[in-house]
Structures are given as structure tokens and as C-alpha cells.
């Protein structure tokens, strides 16, 4: 489950896009955009991806970090894995200004389908003020509850696919932001590895991190 996040300084304007009718893949009828991640089924303008989630006008910038909002040089150098802590679909929850201030870059369902909630160039509200500015974050819907909080094989595969995709941008820019990313356990981390106050993403996903990284390397080398 993602931690309360920060979405302070704003730089980029909202792209034009249609407001869609509500449905399973867009329960709040958010503005859609063509996702940056090519395997995502859609991109949605989640309100917490912006400076003011009540009056969405500009995207949260990656140029500030920490509770003091000190200036940093934007970079994407971490891929952070979270879990929902529940088996019930969370897209509606993540599509509004929710009580956890939770807005990951990606939402990953049981069948391996991905919804992009925040463009990778913008700062997610997910892992905490010291990590949001430098990371992409994925919220993984659990297939089982406590104690294991397992996920499906399709989700494990898609996590590896996302990691391999991010690695293709190493040394380049992704959605306007420089990337410095290698497929290893320094750069692929979980929420609990950034903050001792959480067990997210649960025992099952934590135990599969080495497998996910190994599969991502395999995908990357084949491409």
C-alpha cells in the first residue's frame, strides 16, 4: 500500500484529451491520453498527478524532493514496487484525491494489464518525498490477502516487462526526464526498502524480487 506522497512544484501543462464515459477501465470518467508505456491499456489523468488535485492544471514536477522541498536535478533511477493490500480492484480509489494521497505511475491488475495514472515525466505520489522525485512506482493488485499477499504470474511477468522497458532508456530521456537505470537490485526496489514503517509489497512479492529482476534482464537482452 503506497504512502502519503508529495506533489508540489508544477511545470508541464495538461495535454488535451477527451473526457471518457465512466467504465471499468476509467471509473471516474477521467481525461484519457495515449500512455507513454507502450504496453499500458490506457493513460488516465489521475488528479493526484498534478500540483493541485482539486483543480488539475499542471503536472507535479520532479525538481523538488523531501519535506523541505529542496531543489534537485530530475532523474529516474529507481523502479519501486508496491501492493494494494487488498484483492478488490483499486482503480476507482486511485482515480480520485484519496485519503492516502496515493497516485502511482502505474496500476497493475491480476491479468497483467496496466493503467498509466501519471505520465512518467511527472512525479508520482507514492513512495514518499525522498523517493517520488526519482522513481517510477507501480501499485500491484493482490490476488490473495494476508498473510502472503500473493500476485499472479501474469503480474510478475508484467513487472519484468516494465523494468526491461525502463532500462531501454538508460542514458536517454523518458517523457522528458533523464534516466539512469540498470536492471539490478539497487535500482529495482520495494516500498519497504525505502521506509521501515511498511511491509509493502508483502512477503510474496518481496520474495520474488530476484526472480523479477532476472526475468527483466532476460527480456532486455532479447530486445
Whether 171 is covered by a domain: the verdict is yes
Give CA angle at 188 (183, 193), nearest 5°. 155
pLDDT of 88 strictly over 80: yes
pLDDT digits (tens, 9 = 90+) for 143-199: 999 999 999 999 999 999 999 999 999 999 999 999 999 999 999 999 999 988 899
Tell me, yes or no, whether 87 lies in a domain: yes
Alpha helices in 68-208 (DSSP H): 91-94, 153-167, 202-207
**Across-strand partners of 65?**
70
Structure-model confidence comparison of residues 200 and 52, the more confident one: 200
Q: In this structure, is residue 25 part of a structural domain?
A: no
Host domain of residue 49: 10-16+30-222
Q: Using alpha carbons, select from 70, 81, 54 the residue that is nearest to residue 213.
A: 81
Q: Tell me: pLDDT of 12 over 60.
A: no
Residue 23 lies in a domain: no
- What's the predicted TM-score (pTM) here? 0.88
Q: Is residue 135 part of a domain?
A: yes
| pLDDT for the residue numbered 21 | 57
**pLDDT (mean) for 213-217:** 98
Among 151, 129, 147, residue whose Cα is nearest residue 83: 151
Dist. CA 125–CA 54, nearest whole Å: 15
Q: Is the pLDDT of residue 110 over 80?
A: yes
Residue 20 has pLDDT above 80, yes or no: no
Whether the per-residue pLDDT at 111 is higher than 90: the answer is: yes
Q: Is 159 inside a domain boundary? A: yes
**Sign of the CA dihedral with 42 first, then 133, 96, and 195 last:** positive
Separation between Cα atoms, residue 116 and residue 107, nearest integer Å: 6
Residue 2, in any domain of the structure: no
Any domain includes 174: yes
For the segment 46-65, what is each residue's pLDDT rounded down to a tens digit? 887 777 777 777 888 899 99
Q: What is the CATH number of the domain that holds 124?
A: 3.40.80.10
The domain total for the chain is 1
Other CB atoms within a 10 A radius of the CB of residue 84 amount to 25
Amino acid at each position: 500500500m503506497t504512502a502519503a506522497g508529495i506533489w508540489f512544484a508544477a511545470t508541464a501543462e495538461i495535454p488535451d484529451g477527451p473526457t471518457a464515459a465512466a467504465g471499468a477501465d476509467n471509473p471516474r470518467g477521467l481525461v484519457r491520453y495515449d500512455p507513454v508505456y507502450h504496453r499500458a491499456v490506457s493513460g488516465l489523468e489521475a488528479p493526484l498527478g498534478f500540483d493541485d488535485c482539486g483543480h488539475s492544471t499542471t503536472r507535479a514536477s520532479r525538481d523538488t524532493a523531501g519535506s523541505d522541498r529542496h531543489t534537485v536535478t530530475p532523474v529516474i533511477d529507481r523502479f519501486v514496487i508496491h501492493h494494494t493490500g487488498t484483492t478488490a480492484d483499486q482503480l476507482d480509489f486511485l482515480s480520485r484525491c484519496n485519503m492516502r494521497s496515493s497516485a502511482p505511475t502505474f496500476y497493475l491488475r491480476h491479468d497483467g494489464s496496466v493503467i498509466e495514472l501519471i505520465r512518467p515525466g511527472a512525479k508520482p505520489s507514492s513512495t514518499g518525498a525522498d523517493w517520488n522525485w526519482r522513481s517510477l512506482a507501480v501499485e500491484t493488485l493482490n490476488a490473495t490477502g494476508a498473510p502472503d499477499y500473493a500476485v499472479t504470474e501474469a503480474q510478475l511477468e508484467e513487472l519484468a516487462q516494465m523494468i526491461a522497458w525502463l532500462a531501454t532508456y538508460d542514458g536517454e530521456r523518458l517523457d522528458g526526464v533523464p534516466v539512469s537505470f540498470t536492471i539490478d537490485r539497487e535500482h529495482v526496489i520495494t516500498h519497504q526498502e525505502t521506509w521501515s514503517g511498511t511491509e509493502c509489497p508483502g512477503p510474496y512479492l518481496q520474495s520474488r524480487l530476484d526472480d523479477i529482476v532476472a526475468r527483466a534482464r532476460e527480456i532486455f537482452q532479447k530486445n
